[in-house]
Amino acid sequence: MKIRLLAAALPLAFAAMSAPIAHADENLFGYVKGSETLPEDASEAYVWLTHRFDKGQGEYSAYDSKLEYEYGVTSRFTAAAALMGQSIDTSGLVINGYLPGAESYGFKLSGIELKGKYNFLSAAMDPVGLSQLVAVANAGLEGTYAKRDPLDAATQASADSAMQALTGDPGATFEWPTEPEMELEVTFGAGVSYRFAPNWSIGAETQYQTEFETEVGQERYSWFAGPTLHYGSEKWWATLTWFEQLKGGKEQYINQADGNLHLIEKTEHEVRLKLGYNF
């Protein structure tokens, strides 16, 4: 289980509007964050569901869920807390130190997230650009503390056997680190959304992410991009995003066929659905 703290997230947005594009903190994008915050003392609840699949070999399908609550501390600062869950179904794939062979389980708690957002420039109050068009840019820094429980003897033996088959080395063992780790994740993102009909917006977003780990320095990087579709009413909204990994690198798993992608912590494809309700 991981405890995640979003140390910094600085979203900027620019828009000129003949009519309001989004209500307070309505998410036009699946991954990139907008600059709008909740009004003071207002609240909003979110449900996120992300399907991640395809690591280039074997079978891999994972669902990530997030139940999040946001509160407007002031009109410019919003605080949030979230519970995260995960389910995985994978076979025919061994990734040293991350996925010990075939694994399958339903949804379970995977982490807690605390974060805050401060609005420096409001799209509603500082308009620049084209009518009904919103452009967003992000920079984020996240710190993670993680500690893995040791594998039981049967799982370790199974993982060792799989490693030996993959490498051809009868003495190979599966490494499953149990020492506490500190990770720093840096994220840059951007998106553009256009309101093409009342309540409906279509756009595209992209995100570059890299991670630095205690012992190895830069551990991974990945670049995703894809289209997004958004519907927003007065009380609720929904956003659907397809995200495709275009490039990635650094750490790779044994016998990874595509050397231009990062497929240990990431997958080739992601689909995210976000639902929000204002109250």
Amino acid identity of 8?
Answer: A
Question: What is the CB-side half-sphere exposure of residue 209 using CA atoms within 13 A?
Answer: 19
Contact 39, 143 (CB under 8 A): no
What pLDDT is attached to residue 130? 46
Ramachandran angles phi, psi of 155, nearest 5°: -65, -40
Rounded Cα–Cα distance for residues 25 and 14 (Å): 14
What pLDDT is attached to residue 109? 92
Residues 76-129: tens digit of each pLDDT: 899 999 999 999 998 887 766 555 567 889 999 988 988 888 887 665 555 444
Structure tokens, 262: 């990062």
Rounded Cα–Cα distance for residues 145 and 169 (Å): 33
Which residues of the chain have a pLDDT value below 70? 1-25, 95-101, 121-131, 166
H helices present in the chain, as ranges? 153-167
Ramachandran angles phi, psi of 93, nearest 5°: -145, 130
- How many Å from the N-terminal Cα to the C-terminal Cα in the chain? 31
Chain position carrying tokens 């049967």:
154
pTM of structure: 0.78
What pLDDT is attached to residue 121? 64
Structure tokens, 53: 């699949």
Rounded Cα–Cα distance for residues 196 and 42 (Å): 28
Contact 270, 209 (CB under 8 A): no
Complete domains list, the chain, with CATH: 2-278 (2.40.128)
